[in-house]
Amino acid sequence: MGRVLKTTEDGSHTIYDKKIEECYHSIHGAITESQHVFINNGLNFTNTNPVKILEIGFGTGLNVFLSLMEVLKNNRNIYYESVELYPLESAITESLNYTEIVAPELLTFFKKIHECIWNENISFAPNFSLKKILGNILEIELTTLYDVIFFDAFSPDKQPEMWTRKIFDKIYRAMNVGGTLTTYCAKGLVKRNLKESGFTVEIIPGPPGKRHMIRATKK
């Protein structure tokens, strides 16, 4: 098997991809990283309601799950789209321990996130809907204007084609003015490509184990 389940420092699981030789999340804490980068500095940074989210890299479904938790806690309205080219096997997704750590009562929701049909809009609650898109971000057509982008691809060292100006240009065009993009990566090349695409780029404190991260805004 090319993917292996691993436990990070906060007790939550990540996946190690043997082919790419990289983990899906920070080894310092999968839940901790996702909460800091994408929820605290992305979803909760915007006051838009309803909010439309585009995620680049569905992965383990962790960002979807944490966003759903925010909906249930704060009664926000979220439309969520997530693009993934290489979905995980069910044997792996069924072993992930996120609900055990943060919300055992939401296990049914987490299972539904992974079991729902690709390329169809599915409602999980009166104010949360999810569309998982099977495909390559460079090839699919983005027909919605988004408020928040979760950019969660593998690192530029391992997947350089995912951090090009071409991709950021496409995302920029698909965002509302005032929309934000967050990512764990703060490499100089990424900052330059985002700026050249028109984004205003902030370097802000990163999650444990990482000094900085990026939040970019479409002004």
Unique residue bearing structure tokens 């080894």: 27
pLDDT band at 124 (very low <50, low <70, confident <90, very high): confident
Domains and CATH numbers, the chain: 29-217 (3.40.50.150)
Cα atoms in the 13 Å half-sphere on the side-chain side of 26 = 22
* 8 Å CB contact between 214 and 191: yes
Mean pLDDT score of the chain, rounded to an integer? 96
Q: Is the pLDDT of residue 125 over 90?
A: no
Q: Is the pLDDT of residue 155 over 80?
A: yes
d(CA 184, CA 213): 5
pLDDT given at position 29: 98
pLDDT band at 1; cut points 50, 70, 90? low
Closest by CA position to 63, among listed 108, 100, 106, 113:
113
pLDDT at 74 over 90: no
Q: What percent of the chain has pLDDT over 70?
A: 100
Q: Name the pTM for this structure.
A: 0.97
